[in-house]
Amino acid sequence: MAVLITKETKIICQGFTGAQGTFHSERAIAYNTNLVGGVTPDKGGMTHLDLPVFNTIAEAKKVTNCNASGVFVPPPFAADAILEGVEAELDLIVCITDGIPTSDMQRVRREMKGSKTRLVGPNCPGVLTPGVGKIGIIPGHICKPGRIGVVSRSGTLSYESAVQTSELGQSTIIGIGGDPVNGTNFVDALELFLDDPDTDGIVLIGEIGGTAEVDGADFIKSWGKKISKPVAGFVAGAAAPKGKKLGHAGAIVSSGDETADAKKEALKSAGVIVAETITTIGDAMIKAMEKK
Amino acid sequence: MDIHEYQAKQLISKFGVQVPVGEVIYQPHEAVTVASWLNEDDVVVKCQIHAGGRGRAGGIKICKGQEEIIAEVDRMIGMKLVTPQTGPEGKIVSRVYIEKAYNIKSELYFCITIDRETGGNTIIASKRGGVNIEEVAEKSPQDIFKVKLGPGNKLLPHHARTISYELGLKGKIARAAQKNFIALYEAFTNLDSSLLEVNPFVVTDKEEVVAVDCKASFDDNALYRQRQVAEMKDDNEYDPLELEAARHDLNYVKLDGDIGLMVNGAGLSMATMDIIKFYGGKAANFMDVAGAATPERVAAAFKLIYRDKDVEGILINIFGGMMRCNDIAQGLVNAAKDVGLNKPLVVRLEGTNVEMGMEILKSSGFPITPVPTMDQAAREIVQLVKKK
């Protein structure tokens, strides 16, 4: 089963014929992903990578019955691309694009109120269910089928976590992205993994900035004894100075609650086993599973 | 991106926020002209640097008459201003702002910032302006008033009224404040700002409400459509290495340690700083070779780090999902040749053709230590730098 991407998910790529869209679609196809086509305005009717190209998502949906998309559209046009998918009532939109203006994402957040579509990202590595398929840029060969759910703000740290947990294997890896205003958050991802019968343990990788990790910790605290899964965590940025933006638009400490230490404390108080370095996250997961 | 106080005031005044008249100068002799056209009894002379705490550090002075103004400007231009926010090295003052001073009855705090939790914006206001707001929040949280606006919502007249009443304002003053609040919010949303902080808005003896200081930050991702803001960037405010990195599209932030870092990915870069700290070392920089770590980019990034005089050793941590490690290794060895590498370099590569990559590094003849894991890489570089 896993979450977000299963064998039933029919995926299209937005920005399909561009350099990024092409490169990563090739890899998705090589990973046996159920990619059914792509969208590039004005290129409808073409065939690309042996798949049909459509002008709009509505058209793609009519023909392919797709229910998910990966967005590889450049930043100035990405918010519009997301909203096109929302209007077409896709179940899942994964936006990989990095560099979308925050006010555009605020508009997306407003427009998505009450919609049934789930957005993952932007500025994220995507979603991958080992052995089933992927949307985004997570390299398939480093992931192994298994029963650990991984959720991470950082792309490269989700890769590192996949490697560190390769003994256990992963049910699904979700990169929620490093932007200040985004779609799926830790709480949403934790909820998905908690409800997933194929996930036994959860790895949560956070970083400085914002309070999403603390919200995640509060959510874990609310779990009853009966419905609960072991969680291991890591928060990047313990060595980060205050007020400096480190790579991700959202990775900046502007107040005391946003430091790595404050977030680690919050997670620990919720019973999460916190790894002090990313290289011990696999051990932390094993420890958390033994504790339960 | 941050801008100077005087630039922020120029921008917000276009939206109708009331600011004092004034002018920026770069040379002491320009003070004479400004002082005469301003023709005010009292003026404020202010050092323009991107850091708060200027007042207490001697970077803001009230002056009477031309002579005083000229003497003060003469003292300020070229001086090194050290405030709690500049760090001990301080900042050289190259611009000074001269503006009209007011008779102040009270001071207010007003700030707009992005609310990551709701995806909207938050307004923070206080009747205790002119002081460090973090101290107010800590010592008397009851004096802090917040309004959360949903994503895409405007600041409406009723919000502005509520805020003005919460700040204890009445009548004409309250109306003037409301007008300023709405105008400032317009500026915030129209300019893709991420922070607009007016500390303080002063209430004058003539019952005006005037923004006498303003701190502004803008969304880097939106600068492509905010030309007017983008042009205000002052390169003097940035580390020269940071500027060069930006030209190469590298995410680089100078830090105060001695281990140079080059990593792909922002999260992995932070985690690498952390693990170095964990083993007792200190990173000289944050560096995310954003995008694809091609041999050319890796070489450019490496040379940049190598130029930093504080760097005693370098750690490279590349998790190449898809690129070939032998290419990256070759790029590194070429860069090592170009700079004549004589500082310890520890390299961890992950990806395809790892063995070939390792072999290229080992047989290069340079002091390069290839290691298989991130943990080992961090321990190794910390030891090598300590030995030096």
pLDDT band at B321 (very low <50, low <70, confident <90, very high): low
Domains of chain B, by residue range, sit at 1-20+103-238, 21-101, 240-387
Residues 27-46 of B with CB under 8 A from A: none
> Does the pLDDT value for residue B344 go beyond 80?
yes
> Does the pLDDT value for residue A117 go beyond 70?
yes
A-chain residue closest to B189, CA distance: A103
pLDDT band at B289 (very low <50, low <70, confident <90, very high): confident
Residue pair B34/B23 in contact by the 8 Å Cβ criterion: yes
pLDDT of residue B350: 85
Which residue of A86, A173, A277, A280 to mutate against B (max B Cβ within 10 Å)?
A: A277
As beta bridge partners, residue A37 has A12
> Does the pLDDT value for residue B259 go beyond 70?
yes
What H or E segment, with its residue span, contains residue B384?
Answer: helix B374-387
pLDDT of residue A242: 84
Cβ <8 Å between B273 and A240: yes
Topology of B21-101 in CATH? Dna Ligase; domain 1 (3.30.1490)
Cα dihedral: B11, A209, B90, B303 (round 10): -100
Q: What whole-number distance in Å separates Cα of residue B281 and Cα of residue A273?
A: 25
> Does the pLDDT value for residue B100 go beyond 90?
yes
Q: What whole-number distance in Å separates Cα of residue A179 and Cα of residue B119?
A: 11
Residue pair A263/A271 in contact by the 8 Å Cβ criterion: no
B163 three-state secondary structure: helix
> Does the pLDDT value for residue B142 go beyond 80?
yes
Residues 359-388 of B with CB under 8 A from A: 373-375, 378
pLDDT band at B216 (very low <50, low <70, confident <90, very high): very high
pLDDT band at B97 (very low <50, low <70, confident <90, very high): very high
Give the ranges where B201-261 is alpha helix by DSSP (H): 227-230, 240-247
Cβ <8 Å between A160 and B268: yes
Residues 175-194 of A with CB under 8 A from B: 178, 180-181
**Backbone angle region of B365, left / alpha / beta, with phi > 0 → left and psi within -120 to 50 → alpha:** left
Strands (E) in chain B, as ranges, are 22-25, 42-47, 60-64, 80-81, 91-92, 96-100, 104-114, 121-126, 144-149, 193-204, 209-211, 215-218, 251-254, 259-263, 285-288, 313-324, 345-352, 368-371
> Does the pLDDT value for residue B358 go beyond 70?
yes
Which two three-digit tokens encode residue B156?
């409406």
Cβ <8 Å between A139 and B322: yes
Quick: pLDDT tens for A174-233.
999 999 999 999 999 999 999 999 999 999 999 999 999 999 999 999 997 778 999 999
Residue B167: what are its φ and ψ, rounded to 5°?
A: -85, 5
Whole-Å CA distances, B255 to A62, A213, A244, A262, B344 = 53, 25, 10, 21, 19
List the CATH code of the domain at B1-20+103-238: 3.30.470.20
Q: Between A and B, how many residue pairs show a Cβ–Cβ distance under 8 A?
A: 163
Quick: pLDDT tens for B20-47.
999 999 998 898 888 888 877 789 999 9
In chain A, pLDDT over 70 holds for what percent of residues?
Answer: 99
Tell me the chain A residues in contact with residue B375 when contact means C-beta distances shorter than 8 Å.
277, 279
Closest by Cα among A15, A77, A78, A63 to A42: A15
pLDDT of residue B388: 72
Question: Would you call B265 an interface residue with chain A, using a CB distance cutoff of 8 Å?
Answer: yes
In chain A, pLDDT over 90 holds for what percent of residues?
Answer: 89
Quick: pLDDT tens for A274-289.
999 999 999 999 999 9
> Does the pLDDT value for residue A127 go beyond 70?
yes
pLDDT of residue B254: 92
> Does the pLDDT value for residue B291 go beyond 70?
no
Question: Is the torsion defined by CA of A29, A33, A34, A35 positive or negative?
Answer: negative
How would you class B37 by CB atoms within 10 Å of its CB: exposed for 0-12, middle for 13-18, buried for 19 or more? exposed
Residue B235, min C-alpha distance to chain A (Å): 17
Residues 6+ apart with CB under 8 A from B29: none
Catalytic annotation, pick one of B6, B97, B102, B109: B109
Residue pair B155/B161 in contact by the 8 Å Cβ criterion: no
Positions of A annotated as catalytic residues are: 248
Of the given ranges (A73-87, A265-279, B288-302), which has the lowest mean pLDDT? B288-302
User: Chain-wide mean pLDDT for chain A?
Assistant: 94
pLDDT of residue B324: 78
Cβ <8 Å between A277 and B375: yes
Question: Is the torsion defined by CA of B189, B190, B194, B199 positive or negative?
Answer: negative
Which string of DSSP letters, residue by residue, matches B78-133? TPEE--TTT-TT-EE---EEEEE---EEEEEEEEEEE-TTTSSEEEEEES--SS-H
Residue A64, min C-alpha distance to chain B (Å): 30
What is the arithmetic mean of pLDDT over A253-282? Answer: 93
pLDDT of residue A120: 98
Nearest to B270 among A98, A163, A207 (CB): A207
Cβ <8 Å between B117 and A103: no
Q: What whole-number distance in Å separates Cα of residue A283 and Cα of residue B223?
A: 43
Residue B331 gets which letter from DSSP? H
pLDDT band at B322 (very low <50, low <70, confident <90, very high): low
> What strand order describes the sheet that includes B259-263?
B251-254, B285-288, B259-263, B313-324, B345-352, B368-371
Residue B225 gets which letter from DSSP? G
Superfamily of domain covering B240-387: Succinyl-CoA synthetase domains (3.40.50.261)
pLDDT of residue B296: 81
Residues 71-90 of B with CB under 8 A from A: none
pLDDT band at A1 (very low <50, low <70, confident <90, very high): low
How would you class B108 by CB atoms within 10 Å of its CB: exposed for 0-12, middle for 13-18, buried for 19 or more? buried
> Does the pLDDT value for residue B183 go beyond 70?
yes
pLDDT of residue B152: 87
A143 three-state secondary structure: coil
pLDDT band at B374 (very low <50, low <70, confident <90, very high): very high
Q: What whole-number distance in Å separates Cα of residue A284 and Cα of residue A191?
A: 21
Catalytic annotation, pick one of B197, B237, B312, B380: B197
Q: Bigger pLDDT: B159 or A245? A: B159
B-chain residue closest to A214, CA distance: B117
pLDDT of residue B96: 96
pLDDT of residue B138: 87
Number of CB atoms found within 10 A of residue A290's CB: 9
Nearest to A154 among B150, B225, B268 (CB): B268
User: Chain-wide mean pLDDT for chain B?
Assistant: 92
In chain B, pLDDT over 90 holds for what percent of residues?
Answer: 72
